[in-house]
Amino acid sequence: MNLTIENILLVGSILLFISIVVGKTSYKFGVPTLLLFLAIGMLAGSDGIGGIRFDDPKLAQFIGIVSLNFILFSGGLDTNWSSVKPILREGLVLSTLGVLLTALSLGTFVWFVTDFTIYES
């Protein structure tokens, strides 16, 4: 399949339609939608029935960044801020400390296991 704007729109609209149908169906049965989206993505990939090849890493990165922007926008749009306000402080503290402790523990592990300096690890 040639990479033209028509083909991109066609494949994108087909995947969007399948995602909507699967999302509505999964809601009825209580199956997490994320699992079904992952399955659709694997089926659409180069080893699945869709046969979409990602030979260009820059294109794959661009698609991933655009997709993450949509996910973050949708999550922020659908968030009920009155339910977030009471736990916002605890969430920020836990996330910040979690990142800091993960970076420190992983850096220390890499420093012990490899011959990297403390700054490299």
pLDDT at 85 over 80: yes
Question: How far apart, in Å, do the first and last CA atoms of the chain sit?
Answer: 44
The pLDDT value given to residue 70: 81
The pLDDT value given to residue 101: 96
Q: Give the pLDDT confidence of 12-71 residue by residue, as tens digits.
A: 888 888 878 887 887 788 888 778 778 877 887 777 776 777 777 887 788 788 888 888
pLDDT at 1 over 70: no
Query: Which position has the higher pLDDT, 19 or 115?
Result: 115
